[in-house]
Amino acid sequence: MGSFEAIGSRRDFIRAAAGAAGSCAVFAGAVPHVRAAGSDEIKVGLIGCGGRGTGAASQFLLSTETPVKLWAMGDLFRDQLDASHKLLSEGAEARYDREKFGPLTAKMDVPEARKFSGFDAYKGVISSGVDVVILATPPHFRPEHFEAAVAAGKHVFMEKPVAVDPVGIRRVIAAAKQAKEKGLSVVAGTQRRHQNHYREIIRRVQDGAIGEIVSAQCYWNMGELWLEEAKANWENRKAKGWSDMEYQCRNWLFFTWLSGDHICEQHVHNLDIIQWALGANPLAAMGVGGRAARTAPQYGNIYDHFAVEYEYPNGVRLSSMCKQMPGAAFVVAERLVGTKGQSYTDGSGGFITGQNPYKYDGPNPNPYYQEHADLIRSIRDGKPLAEGAGVAESTMVAILGRMSAYTGRQIKWDWAMQASKLDLRPPKYEFGALPEQPVAVPGKALPV
């Protein structure tokens, strides 16, 4: 499977960036605006100006003491771009994926000429003179945007998941290969890969601390998500004059063609940890799922719960569970079971039990900032990170589980990766009619 290369700490990066001129070498042609002495700014372009994209932009700008500048912004909707620009300019309170921050105007230079909207907004951002692009649109658009960024020789931070169907996954993997050949850094929004306690515990597991892994479990179980936003979008869509396409794009979390369903959009984090620990892709998936509580039309066509058993090489079985249902217990964690013990990880910590007990108690910088610090350091040091193929494979694990749950069939990895023709792209990208696809019914929805 694709690998995520090791990276240093934020403290190490700041020391390196502030060090003597000539201490960093960049690879030829990759970042024409960034010199070894570090005297030039790294210009970043934001593609996708929603909450996550705005958060990612703030974290990129605040993660380092090296000169960086937000240079261009693009979004399908101009009102969303303007709201993002205003928030970055004025500062914002903390939320689940970002710390409180103040005005960032000193790190911004986004005149009207470098603000782009519409389905082709990404083209304007990529061609605006940036060195790095942040890809944070709904995941449906990630393959096309990633391909374009790599073709233009840009370094990339791309949010997870990176596609919603096997056709898109193949495109991302191909583009990731090209990025590696060009010496471009690609970092994914699977921030646990940049979190100290995860890195230390997975390292120990891979070194044999729990013996041979025989099974695993992972969970993203939580209550309802974005209820008020979904309700407001549904109730106001006609008054606002939104076409089918606009409504679905503004309510993208609830449509499979845009989000991949929540098993992809959210649970991919936990599946990625299992992928990382096992160093292998699954052989097959058998899943179930449905809509028990999410029955209102404002919820589009996605499920509210999944349970999937993945078969990995050497007889390892992964039990995967995720749900977004009112009143549900909150459990977001991963467990690996070995012949000598077990490991447990979640967002706040982790430990190992058994013959080699261990609990991480070291420093734990915010991983949402660390992933950007690691990306910037890789560019400055000329040591590109290659996270594209790995996050594509983790995303495909989620897609495989969804395909199985939607169809009621066991789906094999090799068939899905090599032969499936499932492609969720709409007939055309323009505001207008776009009938909502029905909710998948197991036994009737067939894989393609």
Write out the residue range of the structural domain in which residue 246 sits. Answer: 196-364+394-418
Instruction: Write phi, then psi, for 6 (nearest 5 degrees).
Output: -70, 150
User: Residues 238, 172: one domain?
Assistant: no
Q: Is the pTM of this model over 0.75?
A: yes
| 263/242 same-domain check | yes
CB-count burial class (<10 Å; 0-12, 13-18, 19+) for 35: middle
- Residue-wise pLDDT tens for the chain (448 aa)? 433 232 233 223 222 333 222 222 222 233 333 433 344 899 999 999 999 999 999 999 999 988 999 999 999 999 999 999 999 999 999 998 999 999 999 999 999 999 999 999 999 999 999 999 999 999 999 999 999 999 999 999 999 999 999 999 999 999 999 999 999 999 999 999 999 999 999 999 999 999 999 999 999 999 988 888 999 999 999 999 999 999 999 999 999 999 999 999 999 999 999 999 999 999 999 999 999 998 888 999 999 999 999 999 999 999 999 999 998 899 999 999 999 999 999 999 999 999 999 999 999 999 999 999 999 999 999 999 999 999 999 999 999 999 999 999 999 999 999 999 999 999 999 999 999 999 999 988 776 7
Domain shared by 342 and 372, yes or no: no
Instruction: Looking at the structure, tell me whether residues 346 and 399 fall in a common domain.
Output: yes
The tally of domains found in the chain comes to: 2
Cα separation of 306 and 287, whole Å?
7
Count H helices and E strands in the chain, helices first.
15, 15
Residues 188 and 208 in one domain: no
Same domain, 326 and 351: yes
Looking only at the bridges linking them, the beta strands covering 317-324 and 331-338 are: unpaired
Asked if residue 97 belongs to a domain, the reply is yes
160 shares its domain with 247: no
Q: What is the CATH number of the domain that holds 180?
A: 3.40.50.720
Closest listed residue to residue 2, CA positions, set 218, 162, 216, 211? 162
Contacts with 273 (C-beta within 8 Å, 6 or more apart), sequence order? 192, 198, 202, 218, 334, 345
Q: What is the pLDDT of residue 251?
A: 96
441 inside domain: no
What are 72's strand-pairing partners? Answer: 45
- The three-point CA angle 69-369-76 to 5° equals 60
Q: Is residue 219 part of a domain?
A: yes
The verdict on residue 375 lying in a domain is yes
Does any domain span residue 431? no
Task: Classify residue 193 by its DSSP letter.
Answer: G
Q: State the number of CA atoms in the 13 A half-sphere of 122 facing the CB.
A: 23
Q: What is the pLDDT of residues 169-186, one digit of tens each?
A: 999 999 999 999 999 999
